[in-house]
Copies of this chain bind each other. A is one copy, B any other.
Amino acid sequence: MKESVIKNLKILREKGPLVQSITNYVVMNNTANALLAIGASPIMAHAKLEMADMVKIVNALVVNIGTLDEFWVDSMLLAAKEANERNTPWVLDPVGAGATPYRNETLTRLLTFKPTIIRGNASEIMALAKANVQTKGVDSTHSSDEALAYGKQLSKETSAVVCISGAVDYVIDGDKLTKIKNGHELMGKVTGMGCTATALVAAFAGIEPDPYRATVAGMTTLGLAGEIAARKAEGPGTLQLYLYDALYHLKESEVKQWAKVEESHD
């Protein structure tokens, strides 16, 4: 699996996939910069009048409901529908799932367009798996371990690859499971780090036909870049900036040496 990450990082930088994001206002700048740093080409576009034309030219799509509203949800549904019809890979980030009925209803509608990959924190994945879990805002109050069973159920129900991010990231594809133990706790003190993970996963999905491998590649490269950035960061502010530097410079040899990617066979 580690070899697959290395190979995909190389391919991503050669191909520079075009990734469309319909995402939240808070993280647009961060995720665009992360995509540029890793070697992808970001575009943010949500107008209904250009949705079909835009989805047609991109290699992958992100739908992130963080700052959803009545106007943007229509755009999200339109884009998801278009991506599904074209077999363009699309990644759902269910920010704040479980926090309000409106988020849950919106997610139910989005699921009908069969996301290729779903990435959330433990609370969000549990809520999405209809676990009736009480979510505290957008930060997770559950561990990834607790959410694992729910994640497996969600992957089977939706046929999507499901990623539960946290201290350990779980990537689930039906009965398959990969654990990634990279990353640094300070990353949780920077807003939108989960959204950045989703964007990177989409970038890899834009060049790697197997969404399971694409997800592992995205989570591993972000985790590694976070670790490298944390070595010199003095807090969450500097961490965020050094992270882009680290993504930009991430070497295949560093992935080989430091990636902690384990396929599980339980």
Contacts and interface: CB of A to CB of B under 8 A. Distances in A.
A24 interface: yes
B240 A234 contact: no
A96 B100 CA distance: 32
One complex includes copies of this chain to the number of 3
A133 interface: no
Interface string A239-266: 0111111101100000000000000000
A138 B50 CA distance: 14
A139 B49 CA distance: 21
B25 A44 contact: yes
A78 to B, nearest CB: 12
Given A41-B137, A42-B191, A240-B237, A99 B57 contact: yes
Contacts of A167: none
A190 B36 contact: yes
A80 to B, nearest CB: 17
A96 B99 CA distance: 32
A68 B136 CA distance: 27
Contact of A48 (B18, B27, B69, B137): B69
Nearest to A35: B191
A6 interface: no
A54 interface: yes
B100 A50 contact: yes
A67 interface: yes
